[in-house]
């Protein structure tokens, strides 16, 4: 009997291919090779599904999964209460006895407390909303870690004892920003770190977010025009860089996501815009790309009124309001303008960058500054090097964003606040929106190579000006009652994407919170902006979305058979 070796890629299998694979594994397991494999490779566990009663109410599903340590996804549109639920069940697990918390007494109370529960998100801004840290900080990873073999990174962590042996639950917010490559990397890393051959090293993963919001940033080219290689993991094979995440397998389409999650809880009731029916209706229609004429008219009236509000504001008023933009160019321009209009004394924190250059190292000053995320000070001059001065100029009353984690003082990248005091050359005190005042100090950091040698050092303060931010910085933010949000220059299709505008508009609770610097004629028509049918269908399973690539085929491992997207999704949900 001739048995063909089967190479398992990140594609679901169905029909005759599944039967052939099952027979091959049972009779000749040594002839089956895998680029990625689920834990404990047996026919029974490969295709098994964990059972969660689909008829249970949402809160009872969450309670069931937490009690049984089952991975699950908590999703929903912006403003449906995802963050509120996360805060409720995590506080209950940490011993809260609040009477209005439905999880108190229904979920396990962790004996090890905060050591057994980690709350994180890909960006610092998103992490700050759930009182957590960045994903990299939670697992003590550097920015470069995910470009390396996860097993080697895990081995290094075990050697340095950089692991929390008491960790049981991980809440990962804004999961839409996590690419499929990163999800697989994290799975391989945690399995190797905890030496447990089960999904995510046996940790209970709670993914939270909305895949219709901002997708992962996919880097296709470096500044030199050369293609930047994404991490190549032995379990995954080669990953080719792509200009658009649309052409890649999305996170929720991967076999790892489908097989490792016990259930998905999709929240549908909008709480954020509950006080304004017209705005809530507009967002609901825009989300599924079914804009009525009534909503389009309301949209035009809304941006017209927003521009009229802008014309009545003084420069001093504008400095106090959060600005959001599509491009870094506008962000930098607005930040510079706001700093110039601030009459307080300018205090400069210059970065002291020193290159060690061990054997084989060819670092430049600019590369070191970019690695530490230290910005160049605008219009600064230097006699020591051609790059100009790097660091930051700050003033009392200016808005700043923290760019590095300091877990010991509960300071995380992405936190935003107003400068209330400055100690020149030493520290800056910042008042957060919560009223808490934190001190960010000048610190020395080392840049290491693979041989654990110091390549460069930098002594600097981890801050950047934050009067304006890109849309990525605003994901997860709610503009509080009484506050405003200024939108910079409008972009029009195809430059503006559906998820970007959805995130932007869903930050406000009422239309009068929106301020637009440009006239209504510059704003795009909502009917012209097309949604991603894959994410829309996943997040709105009750809505019928016509796919754009209905007859697209996916090449299978068998030369005699192709699997369509419809068959692939069917196999995922069987």
Nearest in space to 365 (alpha carbons), one of 392, 391, 385: 385
Cα 217-259-207 angle, rounded to 5 deg: 45
Q: What is the pLDDT of residue 299?
A: 94
Full-model pTM: 0.74
- 3-state SS, residue 344: coil
Domains and CATH numbers, the chain: 7-47+550-573 (no CATH), 58-267 (3.40.50.300), 277-321+484-533 (no CATH), 344-398+408-460 (no CATH)
* CA distance linking residue 242 with residue 229, whole number of Å: 10
Q: What is the pLDDT of residue 380?
A: 62
Contacts 24+ apart (CB under 8 A), 342-348: 342/395, 342/397, 342/398, 344/395, 344/396, 344/397, 344/398, 345/395, 345/396, 346/393, 346/394, 346/395, 347/393, 347/394, 347/395, 347/422, 347/424, 348/377, 348/391, 348/392, 348/393
pLDDT lower than 50: segments of the chain: 1-38, 40-49, 219-247, 547-574
* CA distance linking residue 212 with residue 536, whole number of Å: 6
Residue 178 · residue 462 · CB < 8 Å = no
Q: What is the pLDDT of residue 510?
A: 92
Cα torsion for 261, 254, 502, 293, to the nearest 10°? -100
Cα 220-226-228 angle, rounded to 5 deg: 45
């Amino acid at each position: 009997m001739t048995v063909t070796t089967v190479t398992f890629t990140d594609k679901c299998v169905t029909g005759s291919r599944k039967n052939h694979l099952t027979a091959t594994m049972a009779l000749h397991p040594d002839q089956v090779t895998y680029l990625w494999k689920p834990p404990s490779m047996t026919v029974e566990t490969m295709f098994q599904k964990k059972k969660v009663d689909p008829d249970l109410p949402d809160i009872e599903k969450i309670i069931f999964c937490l009690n049984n340590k089952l991975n699950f996804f908590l999703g929903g549109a912006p403003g449906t209460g995802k963050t509120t639920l996360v805060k409720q069940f995590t506080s209950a697990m940490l011993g809260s006895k609040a009477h209005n918390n439905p999880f108190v007494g229904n979920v396990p109370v962790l004996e090890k407390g905060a050591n057994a529960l980690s709350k994180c998100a890909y960006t610092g801004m998103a992490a700050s909303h759930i009182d957590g840290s960045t994903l990299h900080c939670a697992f003590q990873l550097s920015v470069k870690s995910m470009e390396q073999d996860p097993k080697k990174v895990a081995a290094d962590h075990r050697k340095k004892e950089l692991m929390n042996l008491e960790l049981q639950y991980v809440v990962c917010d804004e999961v839409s920003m996590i690419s499929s490559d990163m999800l697989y990397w994290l799975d391989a890393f945690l399995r190797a770190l905890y030496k447990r051959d089960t999904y995510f090293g046996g940790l209970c993963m709670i993914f939270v977010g909305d895949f219709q919001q901002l997708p992962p940033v996919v880097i296709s080219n470096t500044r030199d025009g050369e293609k930047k290689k994404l991490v190549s993991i032995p379990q995954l094979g080669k990953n080719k860089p792509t200009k658009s995440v649309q052409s890649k397998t999305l996170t929720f389409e991967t076999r790892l996501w489908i097989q490792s999650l016990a259930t998905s809880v999709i929240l549908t009731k909008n709480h954020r815009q509950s006080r304004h029916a017209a705005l809530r209706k507009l967002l609901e229609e825009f989300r599924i790309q079914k804009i009525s004429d009534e909503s389009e008219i309301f949209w035009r009236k809304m941006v017209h009124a927003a521009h009229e509000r802008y014309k009545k504001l003084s420069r001093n008023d504008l400095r106090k309001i959060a600005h959001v933009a599509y491009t870094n160019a506008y962000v930098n321009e607005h930040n510079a303008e706001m700093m110039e209009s601030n009459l307080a004394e300018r205090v400069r924190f210059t970065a002291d960058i020193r290159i060690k250059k061990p054997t084989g190292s060819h670092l430049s000053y600019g590369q070191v500054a970019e690695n530490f995320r230290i910005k160049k000070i605008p219009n600064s001059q230097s006699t020591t090097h051609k790059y100009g001065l790097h660091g930051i100029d700050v003033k009392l009353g200016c808005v700043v964003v923290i760019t590095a984690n300091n877990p010991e003082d509960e300071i995380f990248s992405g936190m935003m606040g107003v400068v209330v005091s400055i100690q020149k050359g030493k520290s800056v005190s910042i008042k957060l929106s919560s009223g808490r005042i934190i001190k960010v100090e000048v610190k020395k950091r080392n840049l290491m190579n693979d041989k654990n040698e110091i390549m460069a050092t930098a002594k600097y303060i981890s801050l950047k000006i934050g009067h304006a931010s890109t849309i990525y910085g605003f994901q997860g933010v709610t503009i509080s009652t009484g506050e405003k949000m200024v939108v910079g220059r409008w972009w029009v299709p195809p430059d503006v994407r559906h998820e970007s505008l959805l995130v932007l508009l869903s930050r406000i609770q009422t239309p009068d919170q929106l301020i637009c610097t440009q006239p209504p004629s510059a704003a795009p028509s909502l009917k012209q902006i097309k949604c991603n049918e894959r994410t829309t269908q996943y997040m709105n399973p009750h809505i019928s979305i016509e796919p754009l690539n209905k007859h697209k085929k996916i090449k299978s491992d068998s030369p005699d058979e192709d699997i369509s997207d419809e068959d692939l999704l069917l196999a995922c949900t069987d």
